[in-house]
Structure 1
Amino acid sequence: MAGSTPGEMPFLEHLEELRWRLFKCAVAIAIGVIGAFSLLYTKRIDIVGILAQPIQPYLRQPLMVTHVGDLFDIVMNASITLGVIAASPVVVWQVWGFLSPALYGHEKKVVIPALVAAALLFLAGMALAFEYVLPVTLAFYASFESESVNTMQTVDGYMSFVTAMCLAFGAIFELPVVIALLSALGIVQPEYLSRFRRHAVVGCLIAAALITPGSDPTSLLLLTIPLYMLYEASITVSRFIARRRERRLAVEVA
């Protein structure tokens, strides 16, 4: 029994460290959610009014509430989202503090820029969806309305549509980061990506059609272009990382 103690202590210490870091993450998220809820509940930030701006030109009457808890659910979901975003620096710092001792020097140089790029690209994707794609999509759907039909838009349905579209664009904009990490690990090669450019064009077109179903050809094309630009950016990033990886391996061999 005594001989097993030294081998068990580091593992137990790691568990204790993980427990405290998770606790700090939970506290940071709780503070962020409470702070965001206080701002939204007191109407200092009208989250419903902000998210409803793109659809306002196409409404014949205000957004409808069909359940007594709809507005609370929206405010609560927005509070959780904003709280997690506000607490993300603390969460990332705690995760980094736990994982960094196990990483090599060149791996640390890749992880930090990847985390920053992932956050910026995710926000850029959400901004593009909210500022451009969402208004274009709403205009397309509104073109099918008829005077003989009384169209009523509900708050929960519209907010779910906005959230799904923004999150989808944020996730798609993570493509360069994913490719960069796979290239750093040697799983993906830039030559492989370059060989499938034609397939990427078709894939981007299909992805654009799935994200904005029913869009007109012009909107579909304007959405496909930034998606393909992300693919080209991924190839450039992959080439840069592959060259650095080859130089590092050459130095290690020498």
Structure 2
Amino acid sequence: MTDPQDRNARSSANQAQGEMPLVEHLLELRDRLLKMVLAVMICFAAIYPFANEIYLWVSEPLTSLLPVGQTMIATDVTSPFFAPLKLALVLAVFGAIPIILYQIWSFIAPGLYAHEKRLAFPLLFTSIVLFYLGAAFAYYVVFPLVFGFFTAIGPEGVVELPDISSYLNFVLKMFFAFGVAFEIPIATILLILTGATTPDDLAAKRPYIVVGCFVVGMLLTPPDIISQTLLAVPMWLLFELGILFGRLAARNTASDEETPEP
């Protein structure tokens, strides 16, 4: 028979073995969070000396449409300092997104199966590219049309002097809205791969999705039909793209599951 002292010692050893992995995971999580913060700080240190020049570049879609002699203004004493500072900080986070997502990926990757790793990394890389594409689409396509619309419909005799803080809040909101909207294919593929829905079910709900895209466009963009349409239409097209790639991903996953392991 087993000695009770041996059983107690073995039980204590098992508990210790169960606690150690948790402690190690927490330590790893701490280290990776520190690396994320450090990446943001390094990007901020590199961007901040050029914050004023970057702000001028970000404001160009509006300032290029203002009449000669009209410029942006600062209605708050601290705005000339805090507006470029806020822009530099947000751009630092945007610039560090690849490193942040890589740290997240490195933390969760050991717990994934081989076929999940094959899908997760391409989805991670694609999500980064799509987010940047969404922000670029907002700057190069949406801003000129939206600001052109707003500057053209103003009453005659009204002098437009946009505030730098209000303008920055507006463009950051638009950058984020379009960046997130361009993640729709990734969200669609994940819903299909996790079994939450199927491509056929999503295709059957297409009319509701189209209406939902315009509702989201109405909530996230200014109250004009141009910016709402410029967000809603890409969202719908990206949804269709997500269904297409979701079918391919589901088919490949099913093939991997049917293939017997050696």
TM-score range, shorter chain: 0.7 to 0.9
Q: Alpha-carbon deviation of 1:28?
A: 2.1
Contact 1:129–1:165, Cα closer than 8 Å, also in 2: yes
2:178 corresponds to 1:169: yes
TM-score (norm 2): 0.85
Between structure 1 and structure 2, the one with the greater Rg is 2
Instruction: Return the alpha-carbon distance in structure 1 between the equivalents of residues 28 and 213 of structure 2.
Output: 43
Unaligned runs of 5+ in 2: 1-8
Structure 2 counterpart of 1:11, from 22, 34, 53: 22
2:256 corresponds to 1:248: yes
2:41 corresponds to 1:47: no
Aligned residue for 2:88?
79
2:66 corresponds to 1:59: yes
State the Cα deviation string for residues 47-67 of structure 1 (Å, max 9, x = none): 121011111243241101111
Q: Alpha-carbon deviation of 1:174?
A: 0.5
Aligned residue for 1:133?
142
Alignment of 1:1-254 (within 5 A): 2-3=12-13, 4-40=15-51, 46-60=53-67, 61-216=70-225, 221=229, 223-251=231-259
The percent identity for this pair of structures is 32
Q: Alpha-carbon deviation of 1:167?
A: 1.0
Contact 1:190–1:242, Cα closer than 8 Å, also in 2: no
Partner secondary structure for residue 122 of structure 1:
helix
State the Cα deviation string for residues 3-40 of structure 1 (Å, max 9, x = none): 33222222222222222222222222222212211333
The verdict on how the C-alpha distance between 1:213 and 1:34 changes in structure 2, with shifts beyond 3 A counting, is closer
Instruction: Return the alpha-carbon distance in structure 2 between the equivalents of residues 203 and 191 of structure 1.
Output: 18
TM-score (norm 1): 0.88
Instruction: Return the alpha-carbon distance in structure 2 between the equivalents of residues 224 and 109 of structure 1.
Output: 31
Q: Higher mean Cα deviation, 82-91 or 122-131?
A: 82-91
The verdict on how the C-alpha distance between 1:146 and 1:114 changes in structure 2, with shifts beyond 3 A counting, is same
Instruction: Return the alpha-carbon distance in structure 2 between the equivalents of residues 23 and 59 of structure 1.
Output: 44
Q: Higher mean Cα deviation, 240-249 or 228-237?
A: 240-249
Instruction: Return the alpha-carbon distance in structure 2 between the equivalents of residues 224 and 64 of structure 1.
Output: 32
| Residue-pair matches, total | 249
Amino acid aligned to 2:95 = A
Instruction: Return the alpha-carbon distance in structure 1 between the equivalents of residues 105 and 223 of structure 2.
Output: 42
State the Cα deviation string for residues 88-134 of structure 1 (Å, max 9, x = none): 33333322222111110011111111111111111111111111112
Contact 1:176–1:233, Cα closer than 8 Å, also in 2: yes
Unaligned runs of 5+ in 1: none
Instruction: Return the alpha-carbon distance in structure 2 between the equivalents of residues 96 and 223 of structure 1.
Output: 29
Contact 1:179–1:188, Cα closer than 8 Å, also in 2: no
Which consecutive segments of 4 or more residues in structure 1 shift more than 6 A?
A: none
Contact 1:25–1:94, Cα closer than 8 Å, also in 2: yes
RMSD over aligned Cα atoms: 2.3
